Amino acid sequence: MDLNEYVGLFLDESMEHLQAINTSLLVFEERLDDEAVIDQIFRSAHTLKGMAGTMGYDAIADLTHEMESALDLVRSKKQPATAELIDVLFVAAEQLETMVEDISRGGKGKLDVTETVRRLQQFIRPEQEEIISVTPSTAPSTFECDVYSEAVVKQSIASGYQAYIVQVELSADVILKAARVYMVFDRLQQLGDVILSNPTSDELEQEHFETSFSVLFVTQQEQSVIQEAVASVSEVATVTMDVFEATPEAEVATSTLPQEVPVATSVPAPIASPDSPEQTDLSVPVASKTIRVNLERIDRLMNLFEEFIIDRGRLERIAAEVSSPELTDTVERIKRGTNELQSLVLTLRMMPIEQVFNRFPRMVRSVSKDVGKHIKLHITGAETELDRTVIDEIGDPLVHLIRNAIDHGIENKAERILANKPVEGNLSLRAYHSGNRVFIEIEDDGAGINHERVTRIAIEKGLITEEETMQLTIEEASMLLFAPGFSTAEEVTDLSGRGVGLDVVKSKIESLGGEVFVETRRGEGTIFRISLPLTLSIISAMLVELGQETYAIPLTAIIETTSLRKSAILQAHREKVFDFRGQLVPLISLNEVYGLPQHEAEAYSVVVVRSGEKLAGLIVSELIGQQEIVMKPLGSYLEGIRAISGATILGDGQVALIIDSNALLRK
């Protein structure tokens, strides 16, 4: 069996179990006697151990085996949970994530976990002898079958199958017994059918046996083929096979079997006694209402749909040029259908932000301990869904903002006591939908932003003049935090002080079509609010004409469009501005930005756009209209073009560049 084809499934399952372990460990730390939480961690570690053992990732299997052993002592109340155990379990979980991530990058999942294993074994050792002394089940040389199972065997024999008792002896020093049992059963299932096992499947899974077990097995394969297949499993010492002899009583039972009992005609279906324990991992999985789909297939579907959107635009253009009611009606029906299809296809690409949020509880715990603060993380809205592309990119900006809140936002213990605040600080991470956008908020109950200090540092670093600071609103002063090179840290630490971070956060969020805002209250706390589009591939845009070329401006950046008379254009600080709702807003000529011919006119078409707290009016030659477009990335040779984020193909086949208004306003 080629295990490489199962790597993707292993990674998906592993990440789910690691998320469960991390979440449960945080609860376990607060409620050491919560048996349900202990069971959850134990089950996830046990499952991960079995999968890793099967796939040959021994370091993962060894580490989870020790975690499982330690948790089993706590679960059985033979050892009390300690702070030391919690710490080492967190370390183990982090190392498991590191190894799984290495596998996802094509590595072997190897890591030196010797020290962590040693620490876990120190916790286990006082009870080690007691654990080993648990009376195990043994594997007898004969099987005591119930009438039902024996009758099934007899029917299989009548259909040309041979029944055997396969006795397997594992190596005396085997570590992952359950994983080796699973691999033996997997080999047998490929060659025939397992009817029963002794010990039972539950006992085998829980490793309640020494080193030997027996399997009642029916097959049409040669005995030597079966022995060779089982013997190929790592840490299997010996394999012996005996022909199973059915007792005469089975003949009576055969005539009374219900009609539904399957008779082997090719490879028999898995059969178990109705009285025997459920055979987890050894039976055919129960049908599920969900399926796993390779992401490449979804991306391919999305690409095909994007081409369909482009062709729909061509049809709409043709229908507008050709006076045919029937064609117009057909195009309208196609448009309605594609709108529904678009919603469905985009939904397939949506993923819960939970997989990003789940990495932060452990990080907050670790970082807050490093800086000597007591901080509790509250997460809400983890089920909120975002486009997979955004999910893949949003993690790092959130890490910066959370670490910033821990280091700069929340006060230390002494400062919180002086401010009459609880010693434990609160950090909230929220996500929610609003319209066609997703908002993520990072809120702390710290001291808030000291705007006087922020503006003073900005002046010292030459980011702004003293005169300009006098005109800043509180919101604009807060946005100085995102200026390149800005830092309020007085010394460089592992968390901050290097002058990088928040400017990178802003750039990354804007590259995703998003915005970031700051809301702060002195003495009460700060909120960083991120606004993101649901998807990056299909967007609504305003088409405009510059010279003889068509450009697109995303609607999410547009406040309104207007016509501006030449006489309404003013001069301020050597720049052209105009009065927009009582506020002087700078004017930017896109023809000038992109080196296109400019023409004087009595009135200009203006698109008013916003980036954060900044506004600007973009002068264009003509407004064409609104349209849904498919956003395509630029090739590497075009990436240097200023304020262009991508391109799209219009209905007439013309390529239109997409204007990045955030880049235009970033000064």
Task: Report the DSSP beta bridge partners of residue 515.
Answer: 531
Written as one string, the DSSP assignment of 231-294 is: HTSTTEEEEEEEEPPPPTHHHHHHHTS-TTS---SSSPPP---TTSPP-TTTSPPPP-S-----
Which has the closest alpha carbon to 651: 343, 358, 322, 311?
Answer: 311
Distance CA 294, CA 39 (A): 31
Contact 410, 458 (CB under 8 A): no
Instruction: Give how far Cα 578 sits from Cα of 314, 391, 612, 663, Å.
Output: 38, 39, 19, 21
Residues for the chain: how many in total? 667
Long-range contacts formed by 317-325: CB under 8 A, 24+ apart? 317/651, 317/652
Instruction: Kindly state the DSSP code that residue 567 receives in the 8-state scheme.
Output: G
The alpha carbons of the chain give a radius of gyration, in whole angstroms, of: 33
Contact 51, 176 (CB under 8 A): no
H-helix segments, 277-359: 295-321, 325-349, 354-357
Amino acid found at 143: F
Which has the closest alpha carbon to 534: 351, 396, 309?
Answer: 351
Instruction: Kindly state the DSSP code that residue 407 receives in the 8-state scheme.
Output: I
Q: How many CB atoms lie within 10 A of CB 548?
A: 8
Enzyme catalytic residues = 46, 68, 404
Contact 410, 427 (CB under 8 A): yes
Contact 89, 25 (CB under 8 A): yes
Distance CA 455, CA 564 (A): 35
- Tokens standing for 198? 């002794």
Distance CA 551, CA 618 (A): 12
**Phi and psi of 266, rounded to 5°?**
-130, -105
